[in-house]
Chains A and B, each alone.
Chain A
């Protein structure tokens, strides 16, 4: 069993079934990229993994334990599985440093001093340490996203989920964020990344999942999936990327 195991996951909004019987498993240290067109269910799948959406049916296991139950258990689980959002979701009323310290202080109950040291360590890693006194509204998109990554890292999560981390960014800011994620991949952090950046997905992932209309259409090592897709739908989706 891997660190995260998804079995028969379904999610419906009303009578619209967004996820249809999803099964997959990822091991510790793996970097999984989920690609697919908009509306294919990638983001919903990721949100189900963090219980920001409650699955309609099916089970998610985290290190052999079923996730869910009381709010307390859900929060404990979320503290081990970090999430980085497309829209950053930094706390607007806090400085960069306070943002990073918040989870460490309020959830992990670390001391103020320890939280500060850990926060600065990860802010240095993403190159944002000089900005500890800035408020989110004073930063560029790329900077905000790097702070959001640092904030997630201060929780020292076992798995980090990325929901289209570069989709809201200017083209010239995409690189700085992707470089940070690549660095994390090298260090062996387990990550699941929903992305539209094909070259990045090919380079960084150990496994690539292609989703289409609420199902996993194809899942393979990136070299195989990108150069020799088996499923005609994957071929159609990737044709622009491969030929272009």
Chain B
């Protein structure tokens, strides 16, 4: 007797549950690791790009900063301007051709990191320039160096503003890991293909996978909105009553 859709789904889950589960874990691992590393790269680049160069700085310092900015600009352009799948091919098979062997997992994390870094760089820069210039001037007037103002005043405020965009990138990355199956990377999509091919049940297999991606993204959206709420801080404050008499 022919199975119906629900029966097929149950059957595939029984038969290939462990594959789906492992694929999900790998997808999560890659996207979390890649995104976190990418965020670090993005913050570094964004900070570099919004560092002012003063005419009164020494020649060496100006040249150094100009070079850093040039490199970071080129990096952003290259990685935003090429598809992730192509980057993965170049990094994995391309390097292999020259005798440099990296595991599909490292290649995947690297590609996600570089991509996230490139997109985040612009987001961080945008977050920084969205902060009122008065915040910088308040710090300057106290004699604070640029990086003190950046790390103690501006970035904490900019960070809150870019959480939504960080969420976007993270969710994009969870889904984009699926294109990395081109380098034989056994993530969720790859696992699904195996299951689907065996019984020629594409509809049911990919329905399961779609649901898994959807659940993952929903969970992370919720987590990020909790983080955003936390960053808002308390609405109330306590009067320091010991000073009220003065």
Contacts and interface: CB of A to CB of B under 8 A. Distances in A.
Nearest to B146: A71
A124 interface: yes
A133 B153 CA distance: 17
B97 interface: no
Most chain A Cβ neighbours within 10 Å, of B142, B146, B148, B240: B142
Nearest to B141: A83
Contact of A106 (B135, B146, B148): B148
Contact of A89 (B134, B233, B241): B134
A211 interface: no
Given A124-B243, A134-B237, A135-B237, A93 B156 contact: yes
19 contacts: A50-B140, A52-B137, A76-B143, A78-B140, A79-B142, A79-B143, A82-B142, A85-B137, A89-B134, A89-B135, A90-B138, A93-B153, A102-B153, A103-B142, A106-B142, A107-B144, A130-B240, A130-B241, A132-B240
Interface of B: 54-58, 134-135, 137-146, 148, 152-153, 156-157, 233, 237-241, 243-244, 246
Interface string A116-137: 0000100110010111111100
B143 A103 contact: yes
Interface string A122-157: 011001011111110010000000001001100100
Nearest to A92: B157
Interface residues on A, range: 35 or more
B243 A75 contact: no
Given A107-B142, A155-B143, 14 more contacts: A52-B141, A68-B56, A70-B56, A71-B56, A76-B143, A78-B141, A78-B142, A89-B137, A91-B139, A102-B153, A103-B142, A106-B144, A135-B233, A148-B138
B186 to A, nearest CB: 43
A235 interface: no
Contacts of B137: 52, 85, 89
Contacts of A40: none
A232 interface: no
B147 to A, nearest CB: 10
A224 B102 CA distance: 83
